[in-house]
């Protein structure tokens, strides 16, 4: 029997991260969990312990604090006695109009969704490459495949994160570390609550969590989840720019601002 997996989840209170952690918990994994809210994190850790996990570390931290990232990863590695899997899963879905009105909100969302996620990946990659093994997963999004009028601030960050993960994966080739870029479509989590999405577009979070866990264990490099999004986004990316721009004319008038 193989030893329990040693898993670090950064952004452990996000809906998708919890779903992945529940799968690992059922398999008896050893978990290190990091998230901003101490109270929410404690509740998540207690739930995972009941499901079979050994939670060896809980840390409440602002993952945008670049000065603390390497320390957090080092503490997790020490507590787990190594890192088999690291999942970078924190992020926010900003209000597009608010970001247009106030550039500071756009920049703040980029700090969370791209800058801090990328630097967390580097911090984890450094420790994992030194050990010569492991899988590093990061939650990107199908929104990064092509910028759309209703969420291009968010999509821009995810596009940058996807490109960063691709480059990091190539840099780590031959080290024993693989990088998995995870591109979910809309998932039934608090992040999409109130977004008025068609139920047909919103995936069950536990189904998504199981698929992500399998991809992490198989050493996959890019995962669209649910899988239909690979083909949907291939079509959207292939649309000529003029046709792509016309598709939304009926849903929002052009801005009259400068």
Catalytic residues: 154
What contacts 160, CB < 8 A, 6 or more positions away? 110, 114, 118, 144
What local confidence, expressed as pLDDT, does residue 1 receive?
65
Identify the residue whose tokens are 């840390």. Answer: 59
Local mean pLDDT, 10-residue blocks, the chain (258 residues): 90 98 98 98 98 98 97 98 98 96 98 98 98 98 96 97 98 98 95 76 96 98 98 96 80 35
Distance of CA 178 to the CA centre of its chain: 16
* pLDDT score, position 31: 98
| Residues 238-251 as b or e (16 or more Cβ within 10 Å = b) | eeeeeeeeeeeeee
Statement: 6-246 belongs to CATH 3.40.50.720:
yes
**In angstroms, what CA-CA distances link 56 with 31, 80, 138?**
6, 7, 22
Q: Rounded CA gap, 32 and 14, in Å?
A: 15
**DSSP helix/strand/coil, 5:** coil
In this prediction the pTM is 0.94
| Domain ranges, ordered by start, for the chain | 6-246
Where are any strands of DSSP class E within 46-122?
54-60, 85-88
Enclosing H/E stretch for 68: helix 66-80
Query: Rounded CA gap, 157 and 170, in Å?
Result: 20
Rounded to 5 degrees, φ, ψ at 58 are -125, 130
């Amino acid at each position: 029997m193989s030893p329990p997996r040693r898993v670090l989840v950064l952004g452990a209170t996000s809906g998708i991260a919890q779903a992945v952690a529940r799968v690992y918990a059922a398999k008896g994994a050893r978990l290190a969990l990091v998230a901003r809210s101490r109270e929410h994190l404690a509740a998540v850790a207690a739930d995972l312990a009941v499901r079979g996990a050994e939670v060896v570390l809980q840390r409440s931290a602002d993952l945008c604090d670049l000065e603390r990232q390497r320390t957090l990863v080092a503490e997790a590695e020490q507590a787990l006695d190594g890192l088999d899997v690291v999942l970078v899963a924190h992020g926010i879905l900003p209000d597009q109009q608010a970001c247009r009105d106030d550039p500071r909100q756009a920049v703040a969302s980029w700090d969370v969704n791209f800058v801090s996620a990328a630097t967390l990946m580097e911090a984890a990659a450094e420790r994992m490459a030194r050990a010569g093994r492991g899988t590093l997963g990061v939650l990107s999004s199908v929104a990064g495949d092509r910028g759309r009028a209703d969420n291009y601030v968010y999509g821009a960050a995810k596009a940058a994160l996807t490109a960063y993960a691709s480059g990091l994966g190539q840099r780590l080739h031959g080290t024993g570390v693989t990088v998995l870029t995870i591109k979910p479509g809309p998932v039934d989590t608090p992040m999409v609550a109130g977004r008025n999405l068609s139920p047909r577009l919103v995936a069950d979070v536990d189904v998504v969590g199981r698929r992500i866990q399998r991809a992490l264990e198989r050493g996959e490099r890019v995962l669209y989840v649910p899988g239909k999004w690979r083909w949907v986004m291939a079509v959207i990316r292939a649309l000529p720019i003029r046709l792509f721009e016309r598709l939304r004319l009926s849903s929002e008038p052009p801005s009259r601002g400068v």
